[in-house]
Amino acid sequence: MKITVEYRSGFADYAEWRERADVRENISQGDIAGVLSGKITKRHLLSGTSYSSPHNPIMVGNSPQNDKLHLGNNIAFMANKIAGRSWENKSHLDHLNLGAIDR
């Protein structure tokens, strides 16, 4: 017996809650973040994997207990490389909210 579940939203993303590397760092909807030692931060975008903070995800995985929610953010996986482009010429990233990346 095989059971399949499918969710369709039209616009909403799947997200996963991740703890922030620095709990004081402000990661807002639309921000792009990377992962440092399993925690998210806007300061390590060159790590190779990019995430965004979604507006209204249809589903959130890895949610902690309510008393820990303030320590992290819901994030959505974007790509291992943004559009396969080189980080040497960052002009194609001007429309993104890249936080602390050195452009």
pLDDT tens for residues 12-40? Answer: 778 899 999 999 999 988 888 888 888 99
In our burial notation (b when 16+ CB lie closer than 10 A, e otherwise), range 60-93 reads eeeeeeeeeeeebbbbbebeeebeeeeeeebeeb
pLDDT at 79: 57
3-state secondary structure (DSSP) of residue 46: helix
Question: Nearest 5°: phi and psi at 30?
Answer: 90, -15
pLDDT band at 87 (very low <50, low <70, confident <90, very high): very low
- pLDDT tens track for 67-78: 999 999 998 877
11 in Cβ contact with 54 (< 8 Å)? no
Give residue limits of the domains in the chain.
Answer: 14-93
pTM of the model: 0.64
Least confident of 49-53, 64-68, 72-76, 77-81: 77-81
- The residues facing 50 across adjacent strands are 79
